[in-house]
Amino acid sequence: MKTVGYIALRIQEKINWVEDNLLNWPIHENVYFHHCTVAYKPSAEKIEEYKPKLGNVYELNVNGFVLTNEIDVLTVDTIEGLQIENRHPHITVSCARGIKPFYSNEVLEKFTPVDISEQKLTLRGTLYFAEW
């Protein structure tokens, strides 16, 4: 049986981090703000590659955001010492009713994030594997 899941960075900060650093966030009723996907449905080889790093804590430097009527997303810089397979590293903060968090990927293909890198906002994330 093939293992299916994702490798991600579990955000250590609570939602009040967003409330304290971004005006009127989260915007939408369904709040997620819990992880940054590193590899979605990784192969067995990829899982083995990431295994030694599971449990390590990494810094995520927030460099931008996209806000729409459906979703709000934070974008992050590349992470030193960790290869992120996702084309647009991000954290889904919240979604409107009926919108799934994976919609962030589509939104980030369509819209250029607002640059907030000068704010020097940093989160911490612990690498983990979620299986389903």
DSSP string covering 29-70: SEE--SEEEEEES--HHHHHHHGGGTT-EEEEEEEEEEE-SS
Which tens digits make up the pLDDT trace of 14-56?
999 999 999 889 999 999 999 999 999 999 999 999 999 999 9
Cα–Cα dist 99/76, whole Å: 22
Burial of 91 (0-12, 13-18, 19+ CB in 10 A): buried
pTM: 0.94
What residue type is 49 in one-letter code? E
For residue 86, give the DSSP letter. S
Residue 10 has pLDDT above 60, yes or no: yes
